[in-house]
Structure 1
Amino acid sequence: MRKTKQRATLLAAIILAIAMLVSACGGNNAPNNTGNQTNNTEQNTNTQNNGQTEEEGNTGESELEPYQLTLVYPGSPQKDEALVEEALNKLLTEKINATIDLMPIDWGSWDEKVNLMIASREEVDIIFTAQWNGHASNVGKGAFLELDNLIQQHGQGILETQDPTFLEGARINGKNYGIPTTKELAAAGGIIYRKDVAEELGIDMSQVKTIKDLDAVYAKVKAERPDLTPLYISSTDNTFNSHFFGNYDFLGDATIPGAIFKDGTDTTVVPIETTERFLETTRLTHEFFKKGYINADAATSQVSAPDAWKAGIVFSAIESLKPGKDEEVATTAGLSGKLGQIQLTNKTIATSETAGSMLGISSTSQDPERAMMFINLLHTDKEINNLINFGIKDVHFTLNGEIMSKTDRTGDYSPGANWMLGNQFLNYLWDTEDPQKWEKFKEFNTGATKSPALGFVFNSEPVKNEIGALANVIKQYQVAIDRGVVNIDDVLDEYMSAMKAAGLDKVIAEKQAQFDEFLASK
């Protein structure tokens, strides 16, 4: 596959060279249109206008050599990936003289493969990264380039279209190492569930206000629909103890112990394992597991919730919610109109949201400038944004204005990655989605509680050895605890002793010292 793409890139380079020679011989002194072409594609100049304005100007680049970009992100490989790449390449060659190699990695093996990619210094260009997925730790390892100069040079569209809170809240030591997706700013935890099944069983989901209220719901589903897992969780999926359920703020990297509560005012950094909120949540999760509501392989399964939805074996799954999240999941799973969502926490804004979905440029990239040009297009070019997210018009969807309808080939390219790639306010809407979705996004972003640590990101370098040791301990215990496979009360003392032996107290103290300094400087 890669060899074919390399040959295509070489052929494109030869054709381009011939074209430039012919143009020069013909006395044409016009600028090279691969870099100075005016782009009249509709653009989003403000996240509040739903991407309906028109971009003026151009890429500002000229005389670019051909280059193949690689984009690494989590998700299932798609049947029509090569077809979409071909369509993208036509547009990208015109705009920035580049082609693209899409490199999705299944969620189940994402952490392992990306960590190996970073450790081995594999040459790639753009990698999905997030606060909850070890972003700060990977920055400390030198995996990502500092982007501020690149943003100024080749990312003006990002600066013009994105709420500045995103970039401000994603900085590490005052610098950006990732470009956040333009999406919802607030976060809230809840579940996505089979609305059609609830109606079939006569379950009134409007009565579900807390996690405890799900007990009776899951009992009925288990009894009357044994073909469905009441609550599906894999080893890589969200849990009731995720940061948006516990409202934990891990101060920049959820993989490093020590947090405050996003919905509180206390600025004391503590291990969450010592908090009553953590204990209550994990105890209840264990009760659900013992009752058979959660799949027995929750701690080991690498089949992600999106794939489980597609397989039709799920009644509910835990999600970070936003307006229309249920239909986004449904569309990817082939369950349009059959899913609903229930919010079970209050709304908060923290660095985990501003830096919760980003694209970083790898320090192994051979053309970081071109990588930034591509990311800028994802934030400003409606055609490219929708092509990479939804596929080809009249093949994978039909379009009536801004509204998409499915075709018999929609399932052949349905990556469900639009929350990772660029500017969601440029996305078309499916005919099953709320036409007021983007207006509701704006409403959702208002009235959220801001974490006392918004904008702070912990610098892990002073305690990197302790963090490495703690990671091994966490790997041994946390997955099973969070998924209810083990009783927290049976292993808590052992877990905490192992954490302390690995350097927990030193990490907490360092986090507190840096956080106090941040607060004093505000």
Structure 2
Amino acid sequence: MIEVKLRKWLVVMLSVMLVVLAACSNSNPSGGNEGGGDKEGGADLGKEVTLKIMLPGDRPQDLDKIVAAAEQKMKEDGLNYKLNFVFVPWADLASKTQVTLTSGEEIDMIYDAPWLHINQMTSEGYYTDLTDLIKEHGQNILNAGSELIFEANKFNGKMTAIPLGSKNGHANSIIIRKDIREELGLEEVKTHEQFIEFLRAVKEKKPEIIPYSAWGVSPDLSYAGIRIENDYEAGFRVTPAFNRNFTLYLKGNDPTVYNLFDEMDPTIWSYIELTRSMYQEGLINPDIMSSPDSKVMLKSGEIASMTYTDFSMQQNTLRELQANVPGADLEIFELYKFEKNANTSDYKQNDYLAIPKASKNPVDAIKFLNWAHEQDNYNLISFGIEGEHWEAVGDTQYKPLKDSYPWFGWSFLWAPKYHKFSAEFSPEDLAKNEFYYTAENFEKDVLTGFTFDTSPIANEIAQFNSIDAKYYPLIMNGVVDPAEAWDKYKKEGEAVVKKIQNELQGQIQTFLDGQK
């Protein structure tokens, strides 16, 4: 009898041990719950999780190779993630991303910006609050940037998007064909008067080349736009309501919202009229509203100058130009003033990565980004395979070895702690970038930390956007008679803009009262 009981006991114990062993063998090696990809779980090497990432621009040629290497590296580190990058052409970016978000399409990470619709999308609740997720799963993300930048880039007190970089303001400049300038016997361009002289000389002596083209139809990158934005004497600034439109504007470090429909500022109008006269004179691309990307035209040798959004020459742009036009060269006409406290900054970034609420994988998205915020992993995704796409130059620079994987981290992965500048940058370029990325060089904006909640006037914002698209880009690019077009623009938009102005000014006052 004892022997029978002993055998039964042994059978029971063996069964228990088998159950325990089976449970251990099925545990999640990455520390998340089984079935990674749900809202509580992490990745399970037994179950693959695909993260869909929507970004602007063109797909890098060697991206698939980098993705394969990153996915293999993640598996070695216990993360079973597949990366599905979806790229949206610039011309379709605003409409495509808005439809994606409002339709509830399952996207795990998406690019957004103040000039796109991040204020609207955060106000209307389309983005996940990342505050707790990053604290729990994203310490590397927090450690890679400054606390000031993270705090200043919260929306309504919540971290609903990860700020990319730590830049301050707009890096506007004009890129010029240096070889053409020298051929025409002109001095280096350092003033707007010299720039217009250059354009007239190109039109007269190089009629086969378009003298100047803005970068796309965006009004802030038109000639009028960059003149307004870089007028240090007047101190014009866009408002949180219209990031690329000066119909409502700020002046200096003052919280008062001005309205051009109430009173046209003579300096702003002078830049609009100047741009119109340049267009009529044939100095500006006549097909600016329908031409392909001006950077493509620059590389092909079709234009002699264009608006640029950087301080430093992108050497791959120069190489592509020289492949099409042997002997060509480029230089920068700098508009930015590199003097301490000459520029005001609210430390808001131009670029963000957000996780839509429609994502089924927010924890996995943060875990992936946390993994990417390690130096070796950051290097792989940002610059490619070391030895094939790039090589290190000291601790803070890298040398690109081929152009098949240009850096696109500005729209996705841009951490100041890990970022490397190209070794092709001159010492002057490096000094400019160091200045630009150092918060202490800027006067702190009185509106630092303010978020404009657009939800009370969502209908007015939508109505204004349609009115704006009909008139403002045409006016700013000089392709229509400004007085006639402005009258129509004002007639249709005045009432709507006044409601937006009042709401914005009221929220600003509430914010300032709370600061006291």
Cα drift, residue 144 of structure 1: 1.6
**Rounded Cα–Cα distance in structure 2 between residues aligned with 1:432 and 1:339:** 14
CA separation in 2, counterparts of 1:74 and 1:28? 42
What residue is the counterpart of 2:74 in the other structure? 92
* Partner Cα separation in structure 2 for residue 269 and residue 424 of structure 1: 33
Paired position in structure 1 for 2:257: 269
Tell me the equivalent position of 2:487: 493
CA offsets 1:187-210 (integer angstroms, 9 cap, x no match): 34321223333333333224x23x
Aligned match of 1:411: 403
Once the two structures are TM-superposed, the CA of residue 25 in structure 1 deviates from its matched residue by 7.8
Residue 508 of structure 1 deviates from its aligned partner by: 0.6
Structure 1 315/423 Cα, relative in aligned 2: closer, same or farther at 3 Å? farther
Residue 475 of structure 1, CA deviation:
0.9
Q: Look up the match of 2:15.
A: none
Whether 2:458 is the aligned partner of 1:467: answer: no
Q: 1:229 aligns to what?
A: 210
Per-residue CA shift, 1:374-404, capped at 9, x if unaligned?
33344x3233333333333333345555554
Q: Residues 104-145 of structure 1, C-alpha deviation per residue, up to 9 Å, x if partnerless?
A: 222122222222222322211111111111210122333321
Q: 1:400 to 1:462 in 2, by over 3 A?
A: closer
Aligned-partner SS, 1:133: coil
Change (3 A) 1:512 1:33: closer
Aligned twin of 2:278: 288
* Contact 2:211 2:284 (8 Å CA) reproduced: yes
Partner of 1:356: 350
DSSP-derived class of the 1:505 partner: helix
In 2: Cα distance, 1:461 partner to 1:70 partner: 28
Question: Structure 1: which amino acid aligns with 2:230?
Answer: F
Unmatched tracts of structure 1, length 5 or more = 1-20, 36-59
Residues 35-54 of structure 1 aligned to structure 2 (within 5 Å)? none
- Aligned pair count? 467
CA distance 1:26–1:472, change in 2 (3 Å): closer
Change (3 A) 1:195 1:392: farther
CA distance, structure 2, for counterparts of residue 365 and residue 330 of structure 1:
36
Deviates more, 1:25-34 or 1:490-499: 25-34
The partner residue of 1:426 within 393, 410, 418 is 418
Instruction: Tell me the residue number matched to 1:176.
Output: 159
Distance 1:318 1:213, change over 3 A: same
Aligned residue in 2 for 1:52: none
2:305 to 310, 316, 339: 316
1:200 aligns with 2:194: no
Deviations 1:261-305 (A, max 9, x none): 36x14322123563334312222221221122221221233x223
Partner of 2:118: 135
Tell whether 2:63 aligns with 1:81: yes
Does the CA-based 8 Å contact 1:253-1:458 persist in structure 2?
A: no
Q: Secondary structure at the match of 2:277?
A: helix
Specify the alignment match of 2:12 in structure 1.
none
Query: Hey, what's the Cα distance between the residues in 2 that align with 1:256 and 1:429?
Result: 31
Following superposition, the deviation at residue 258 of structure 1 comes to 6.0
**What's 1:4 paired with?**
none
Using the alignment, how far apart are the partners of 1:260 and 1:424 within structure 2?
A: 30
1:292 alignment partner, SS class: coil
- Quote the offset at 1:230 in angstroms: 2.3
Distance in 1 (alpha carbons) for counterparts of 2:506 and 2:308: 33
1:329-348 superposed matches below 5 A: 330=317, 338-346=329-337, 348=343
Q: 1:329 deviation in Å?
A: 6.9
Distance 2:271 2:359 in 1: 42
Distance 2:31 2:179 in 1: 50
Conserved? CA contact 2:300–2:321, under 8 Å: no
Any conservation in 1 of the 2:115–2:243 contact (CA below 8 Å)? Answer: yes
Q: Deviations over 1:296-336 (max 9, x none)?
A: 221233x22333333332322223444x3x23673685669
- Could you tell me which amino acid in structure 2 is paired with residue 441 of structure 1? N
User: Matched residues, percent identical?
Assistant: 23
- Preserved contact between residue 170 and residue 355 of structure 1 (Cα < 8 Å): yes
2:353 matched to 1:372?
no
Q: CA RMSD in A?
A: 3.4
- Answer whether contact 1:146 1:175 (CA < 8 A) is retained: yes
CA distance in 1, matches of 2:470, 2:43: 52
> What amino acid maps onto 2:332 in structure 1?
Q
Tell me, in whole angstroms, the C-alpha distance in 2 between the residues paired with 1:277 and 1:202. 32
1:367 deviation in Å?
Answer: 0.5
Residue type of the partner of 1:340? E
* C-alpha separation in 2, matches of 1:117 and 1:456: 27
CA contact (8 A) 1:249 1:451 kept: no
Shift of 1:354: 1.9
Q: Is the 8 A contact 2:353 2:411 kept in 1?
A: no
TM-score, length-scaled by structure 1: 0.79
CA contact (8 A) 2:171 2:336 kept: yes
Distance 2:441 2:268 in 1: 25
With 432-441 and 167-176 compared, the bigger mean Cα shift is at 432-441
User: CA offsets per residue over residues 324-350 of structure 1, 9 Å max, x none?
Assistant: 3x2367368566994322322445344
| 1:251 and 1:259 in contact (8 A); partners too | no
**Do structure 1's residue 32 and structure 2's residue 29 form an aligned pair?**
yes
CA drift of 1:175 comes to 1.4
Match of 2:145 in 1: 162
- Single out whichever of 218-227 and 459-468 deviates more from structure 2: 218-227
Contact 2:177 2:330 in 1 (8 A): yes
**Is 1:183–1:425's contact at 8 Å kept on the other side of the alignment?**
no
AA matched with 2:413? L
Partner of residue 49, structure 1? none
Match of 2:435 among 425, 438, 443: 443
- Paired with 2:348 and 2:315, the residues of 1 have a C-alpha distance of 20
Name the CA distance, whole Å, in 2 between partners of 1:253 and 1:276. 20
CA distance in 2, matches of 1:338, 1:416: 24
Tell me: CA distance 1:449–1:308, structure 2 relative to 1, closer, same or farther (3 Å).
Answer: farther
Task: Determine if contact 1:167/1:354 at 8 Å carries over to the other structure.
Answer: no
Change (3 A) 1:212 1:370: farther
Alpha carbons of structure 1 residues 411 and 272: separation in structure 2 relative to 1, 3 Å: farther
Secondary structure of 2:87's aligned partner: strand
